[in-house]
Structure formats: C-alpha cells, structure tokens
Amino acid sequence: MQPRDLSATSPYVPGRGIEEVARDLGLDPDELIKLSSNENPHGTSPKAVDAVTTRANEGLHVYPKAAHTDLTEKLADKWDLSANQIWVTPGADGAIDYLSRAMLEPGDSVLVPSPGFSYYSMSARHHHGEVAEYDLSKDGAFQQTADIVLDAYDGERIVHLTSPHNPTGTEWSREEITTLLNAVDDQTLVVVDEAYGEYSDRPSSIGLLSEFENLAVLRTFSKAYGLAGLRIGYAAVPEAWADAYARVNTPFAANELAYRAGLAALDDDDHVDHSVETAKWAREYMYENLDAPTFESAGNFVLVDVGDASRVAERSQEEGVIIRDCSSFGLPGCVRISCGTREETKTAVETINGILAEVAPT
C-alpha cells in the first residue's frame, strides 16, 4: 500500500538547526550562530515564559476552550474586529490550511508568488487544488504590484500575497493591494500573509476587512513574539463568512500553552519593540557593511546576492554562522541572513565578508 501520488508537491525545506549542524561539524552548539530561520534572537517574551510555566504547573489535563476564547477576544480587540473574524490556528501555516479547506473545491487553482513560501502550494495540493505562479523579478528588485499579479491571474480561487515577502523582504503598498482586490473576480480570495508584519512600518491589511469580503490576512506569534516553537497564529477574515471557521477548524486547534503564551506576549510591548528595533539596526548594518549587493527588507532578514549561495552558505556554516542558502527558493545566487543580536550580526558580517573575499572570482 502506498499514499496517493504526491510527486507534484515539493517538501518545505526549513533552515538547519543548531544541534543538527553542531553534530555534523563536531562543535559545541554554543559555538554557533543561527541566522537561517528568521527566529527572534532575543528569544521568547519573558511574560509568555512565565505564563507557560504557571499554566504547566497548574495542570494540562483539560481542553483549552477558555484559553482559545480569551485569545480570540484579545486579538479581536487589538484589531477592532468581531471575535468570529479571528481564526486562531497552529501557526500561520495552519491558517493557510484552514482557508484552503474553506475555499477550495477539487481542481480549483491558487496563484502564488515565485520565489515564495512553499507551503502556499503544498496546502493547495493537499486539498486537491492546482497551482499557478506569478514571478517576482530579481532584476526588478522583487517589486510587488497589482500589475505583476494580474498579468498572471486567470480567475484563481485564492491569490497569495506576502508582505513583507520572504525571502526578499519587499512589501505591498495599501494602494496596490486595494487595486488588486478591486480587480479580481468576486469569488477570488486574496490572502495577505503578514508573518513579518510587526517589523514593517506600513499599516496592516487587516484595516481593509471592513471594505472587502474577498480578503483574509495572516499573522503569527512565531517571529516578533518569539513563539515559533509553540506554533500559534491566526487569520483575520471578513465577518460575512467568518462562521466557516467552526466547520474547518480541528478540535481545539492550538494547545493550552500556546494560547496562554500568546495572551501574555500580546501584553509584552517592550519585548516586541526591542525585537523590532534590533532588526531595523541589523538590516542597516548589513546594508552598509556587507561586501555584496543587498536587497532592502522590511522583515527580520536581508537577502544578499553572493554569486554562489551554496558555497558561501556552506563555508559560513563551517565558520560557525548558519545562514540560508536560497537555492530552494529558486535563487541560487542569494543567501538570506536573519537579523541577530548586534553582536551576532557583526560577527556574521565579518565572517561572510571573509568568505566572500576567499571565494571571489579572480
């Protein structure tokens, strides 16, 4: 017996973990700097850690119904929405799945960015959908506009946007998103993934939900809040079809500790502000000091054109700095460097500049 044919689905390729790399290189994990997965270098919100510890000590033997309700209401209040417009999910990827369940019939198509997050396509195919792509051009600095999407658009049921975009860091403007929402068919859902939204100075597209019934916006606690290990995220959706959540949600979508951590993290403005300010400093430091072309980013990472991504990433790893080879994104000339602490960022730049001097063509 075999599973169904999954050959059209390319697996998600995560950044390598410190423990994994340390074993391969025979190093102590403490000797390594991991800047490959866009994680928060300042760790988890201390308030979230306290909430998790307290709740774990109180017991985890009951289902997380109250915690789910509490987090939903708190997020709704944060964004000035009704509670039923918040779909709490296990990570933003869980929100992608829930929207696929709610919207896709077998054979429906989705339109996704290339390069982009592979799970958009994976989720569509898991739900028996088809996938089309719109291209973000390296020559055009990966600019994102309505025209670029509409040139490839052919009535797809879901159109995925990412702002800030991973791995390039580019953003959508409010004007361009509004143009796209008005241009697509009434039965096309535009999904704006704002996983890195806290790092951006632009307003969230959640503010457009009162105007459009064909919009959903994704958010996560994995990045600025430092809760990647707990897998907690959410979608914000129009009130007109918000009740679909109860029909596509898995029972008790996220776990008790994730809910409690999310609730506490929402109150820890100091941790988020510090994380965002460090990322802004690190981006500027990389722009100014790396000996290779960089692309301006609104996320907690910078895309760098190094010529031979695999070689540079491998050498950097050997030197103790783990960065992301973007060949899996279809960008074999580029690496993505997450924003670390100031010390980590300075070490990474020095290390990579040394490698670039070593591998530069003569």
Predicted local distance difference test score (pLDDT) of residue 194: 98
* Spatial CB neighbours of 228, under 8 Å, sequence gap ≥ 6: 37, 39, 40, 222
Mean pLDDT of the chain: 94
Return the HEC string of 124-176.
HHHCCCEEEEEECCCCCCCCCCHHHHHHHCCCCCEEEEECCCCCCCCCCCHHH
Predicted local distance difference test score (pLDDT) of residue 39: 96
- Helix, strand, coil percentages (3-state) for the chain, rounded to 5, are 45, 15, 40
Predicted local distance difference test score (pLDDT) of residue 337: 98
3-state secondary structure of 84: helix
The C-alpha atoms of residue 351 and residue 315 are separated, in whole angstroms, by 9
pLDDT > 70? residue 241: yes
pLDDT in tens, 122-143: 999 999 999 999 999 999 999 9
Flag the least confident range among 8-22, 150-164, 184-198.
8-22
pLDDT > 70? residue 72: yes
Flag the least confident range among 24-38, 83-97, 141-155, 225-239.
24-38
At residue 360 the predicted structure's pLDDT band, cuts being 50, 70 and 90, is low
State percent of the chain over pLDDT 70. Answer: 97
pLDDT > 50? residue 362: no
The C-alpha atoms of residue 86 and residue 217 are separated, in whole angstroms, by 10
The C-alpha atoms of residue 131 and residue 120 are separated, in whole angstroms, by 9
Set out the domains of the chain in order of their start, with CATH numbers.
18-44+269-355 (3.90.1150.10), 59-265 (3.40.640.10)
Q: What is the mean pLDDT of residues 298-322?
A: 96
Interhelix angle 46-58/256-265, nearest 10 degrees: 150
pLDDT > 80? residue 10: no
Q: What is the mean pLDDT of residues 237-247?
A: 92
3-state secondary structure of 195: coil
Q: What is the mean pLDDT of residues 242-248?
A: 91
50 class by beta-carbon count within 10 Å (0-12 exposed, 13-18 middle, 19+ buried): middle
State percent of the chain over pLDDT 90. Answer: 86
**At CA 46, angle to CA 198 and CA 283, rounded to 5?**
35
The C-alpha atoms of residue 331 and residue 137 are separated, in whole angstroms, by 11
Q: What is the mean pLDDT of residues 53-64?
A: 92
Q: What is the mean pLDDT of residues 232-237?
A: 97
Q: What is the mean pLDDT of residues 216-226?
A: 97
Q: What is the mean pLDDT of residues 35-60?
A: 95
Predicted local distance difference test score (pLDDT) of residue 6: 74
pLDDT in tens, 74-88: 999 999 999 999 999
3-state secondary structure of 353: helix
Answer whether the bond into residue 203 is a cis peptide, omega within 30°: no
pLDDT > 80? residue 8: no
3-state secondary structure of 326: helix
pLDDT in tens, 348-358: 999 999 999 98
pLDDT in tens, 191-217: 999 999 999 999 999 999 999 999 999
The C-alpha atoms of residue 72 and residue 78 are separated, in whole angstroms, by 10
pLDDT > 80? residue 322: yes
The C-alpha atoms of residue 27 and residue 237 are separated, in whole angstroms, by 46
Structure tokens at 346: 């300075």
Residue 210 neighbours by CB distance under 10 Å: 12
